[in-house]
Amino acid sequence: MFHDLKPELKETLAQIRTFVADEIIPLEPLLLQQYFSALLPQLEEKRAQVKSLGLWAPHLPQDLGGLGLSLYEFGHISEVLAHSPLGHFVFNCQAPDIGNSEILLQHGTVNQKQRFLNPLLSGDIRSCFAMTEPEHAGSNPVYLSTTAVKDGNDYIINGHKWFATSADGAAFAIVMAITNPAEEKLHKRASQILVPLDTPGYRLVRNIPIMGEAGEGYFSHGEVRFENCRVPQSNLLGKEGAGFELAQKRLGPGRIHHCMRWIGISERALEMLCQRAATRELSPGNLLGTRQTIQNWIAESRAQIDASRLLVLQAADKIDRQGASAARVDISVIKFYVAGVLQQVLDRALQTFGGLGMTDDTVLSFYFRHERAARIYDGPDEVHKTVVARSLLKKYMKL
Q: Per CATH, the architecture of 244-393 is what?
A: Up-down Bundle (1.20)
DSSP 297-349: HHHHHHHHHHHHHHHHHHHHHHHHHH-GGGGHHHHHHHHHHHHHHHHHHHHHH
Phi, psi angles (nearest 5°) of residue 269: -65, -40
pLDDT digits (tens, 9 = 90+) for 338-366: 999 999 999 999 999 999 999 999 999 99
pLDDT in tens, 9-59: 999 999 999 999 999 999 999 999 877 888 999 999 999 999 999 999 999
Q: Can you tell me the mean pLDDT for 226-237?
A: 98
Residues 264-285 have a mean pLDDT of 96
pLDDT at 325: 86
Range 7-96: architecture per CATH: Orthogonal Bundle (1.10)
Over residues 167-209, the pLDDT tens digits come to 999 999 999 999 999 999 999 999 999 999 999 999 999 999 9
Is 127-237 a domain of CATH 3.90.1150.10? no
In CATH terms, are 127-237 and 244-393 the same topology?
Answer: no
Given a cut of 90, is residue 162 above it in pLDDT?
A: yes
Amino acid in the structure at residue 396: Y
- Per-residue pLDDT for 2 more than 90? no
- Does the pLDDT at position 87 exceed 70? yes
DSSP calls for 53-83? TT-SSTTS-GGGTS----HHHHHHHHHHHTT
pLDDT band at 380 (very low <50, low <70, confident <90, very high): very high
Q: What is the mean pLDDT of residues 383-388?
A: 96
Cα 236 to chain center, whole Å?
A: 24
pLDDT (0 to 100) of residue 5:
87
Residue 243 has what pLDDT?
A: 94
Side chain identity, residue 175 = V
> How does strand 221-232 pair with strand 202-207?
antiparallel
- What's the confidence (pLDDT) of residue 36? 85
The reported pLDDT for the residue numbered 123 is 95
Inform me whether the pLDDT recorded for 251 exceeds 80: no
Confidence band, pLDDT 50/70/90 cuts, at residue 142: confident
User: Are 357 and 365 contacting, i.e. CB atoms less than 8 angstroms apart?
Assistant: yes
Q: First and final CA of the chain: distance in angstroms?
A: 36
Preceding omega of 134 cis (within 30 degrees of 0): no
Domain ranges of the chain: 7-96, 127-237, 244-393
The span from the CA of 358 to the CA of 212, in Å, is 13
pTM reported for the whole predicted model: 0.94
Per-residue confidence (pLDDT) for residue 254, from 0 to 100 = 85
Are 200 and 230 in contact by the 8 Å Cβ rule? The answer is yes
Average pLDDT score, the chain: 94
Using an 8 Å Cβ cutoff, are 326 and 310 in contact?
no
Report the percentage of the chain scoring pLDDT > 70: 99
Q: Is it the case that residue 278 has pLDDT exceeding 90?
A: yes
Q: Classify the C-alpha dihedral 87-92-98-100 as positive or negative.
A: positive
Residue 207 to residue 216: CA distance in whole angstroms: 7
